[in-house]
């Protein structure tokens, strides 16, 4: 429960159920305040593009090994799988969590349950469209909207955090850091920029400077794609 302020008469001024802020006069009667509604709308609107990027990353992780692929230096380096990416794009991930919210809103509105929207890739934009269309209703009058505002915030944050590295223009992903720390590869996403001969891992600080070093990096990354059993883990 939030702790609304009380005046001398003991009257509690209504607050936003999502962020706890006192509602403005023009917001009275609403469940969630307008800023919460608009932040949620922005996050929802960004989810389809985030999901598409995660899907691309996940397919690189799944299709890491392509026997017979060209051996030229331009081929995509293998990307070791990362569980958080694979689970966000799979059943039970983003699409399922959005569907659960849509189903709850439909139940409250006494509408038919959500139609089958296909694979997660097909379903995410459909769920997002439904939720964006009905967000004004939910923010206005749906009693459990605070949970959904929080779920959408968390989902957006998980998708953003799972996306590899730096997405600024001019930087390209060049695979994961192969430097070994505590017997485990660092695996932070590395990025290269046309403006620099230096690739520096933002996580462990390892650097590769110049083409020879970059070729060594590529060889080391390919080494991490074939499992090397650590004797330290046995016993
Ligand atoms: Zn709020
Ligand atoms: Zn590193």
Q: pLDDT digits over 178-193, tens only?
A: 888 888 888 888 887 6
161 pLDDT more than 60: yes
- Calculate how far, in angstroms, residue 174's C-alpha sits from the geometric centre of ligand 1: 40
Is 136 in the same domain as 83?
yes
- Calculate how far, in angstroms, residue 23's C-alpha sits from the geometric centre of ligand 1: 8
Measure the CA–CA gap between 73 and 66, rounded to whole angstroms: 14
Residue 132 inside a domain? The answer is yes
- Calculate how far, in angstroms, residue 207's C-alpha sits from the geometric centre of ligand 2: 9
Structurally, the chain folds into a number of domains equal to 2
96 pLDDT more than 80: yes
Dihedral (C-alpha) 153, 135, 106, 25: value to the nearest 10 degrees?
A: 110
- Mean pLDDT over 25-45 rounds to 95
- Calculate how far, in angstroms, residue 217's C-alpha sits from the geometric centre of ligand 2: 11
Percent share of the chain, pLDDT over 90: 44
**Residue 25: per-residue pLDDT:** 92
- Mean pLDDT over 97-126 rounds to 94
Is 149 in the same domain as 50?
yes
- Calculate how far, in angstroms, residue 164's C-alpha sits from the geometric centre of ligand 2: 13
Ligand nearest to the CA of 220: 2
Is 44 in the same domain as 102?
yes
1 pLDDT more than 60: no
Ramachandran angles phi, psi of 221, nearest 5°: -65, -40
Residue 137 inside a domain? The answer is yes
- Mean pLDDT over 98-118 rounds to 94
Tell which of 101, 131, 161 closes a domain: 161
Tell which of 125, 143, 161 closes a domain: 161
Is 107 in the same domain as 185?
no
Residue 201 inside a domain? The answer is yes
Q: pLDDT digits over 171-180, tens only?
A: 667 888 888 8
Q: Write out the residue range of the structural domain in which residue 198 sits.
A: 171-232
Is 178 in the same domain as 146?
no
pTM exceeding the 0.75 threshold for the entire prediction: no
């Amino acid at each position: 429960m939030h702790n609304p302020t009380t005046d001398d008469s003991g009257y509690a001024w209504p607050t936003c159920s999502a962020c706890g802020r006192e509602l403005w006069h023009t917001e009275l009667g609403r469940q969630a305040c307008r800023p919460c509604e608009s932040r949620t709308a922005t996050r929802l609107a960004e989810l389809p593009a985030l999901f598409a990027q995660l899907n691309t990353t996940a397919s690189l992780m799944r299709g890491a090994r392509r026997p017979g692929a060209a051996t030229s230096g331009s081929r995509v380096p293998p990307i070791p799988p990362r569980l958080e990416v694979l689970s966000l794009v799979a059943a039970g991930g983003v699409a399922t969590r959005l569907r659960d919210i849509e189903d709850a809103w439909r139940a409250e509105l006494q509408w038919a349950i959500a139609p089958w929207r296909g694979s997660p890739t097909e379903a995410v934009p459909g769920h997002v469209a439904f939720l964006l269309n009905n967000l004004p209703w939910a923010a206005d009058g749906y009693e459990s909207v605070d949970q959904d505002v929080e779920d959408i915030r968390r989902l957006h944050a998980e998708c953003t955090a799972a996306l590899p590295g730096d997405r600024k223009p001019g930087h390209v992903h060049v695979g994961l850091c192969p430097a070994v720390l505590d017997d485990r590869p660092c695996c932070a996403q590395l990025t290269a920029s046309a403006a620099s001969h230096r690739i520096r891992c933002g996580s462990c600080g390892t650097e590769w400077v110049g083409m020879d070093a970059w070729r060594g990096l590529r060889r080391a990354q390919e080494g991490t794609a074939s499992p090397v059993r650590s004797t330290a883990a046995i016993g």
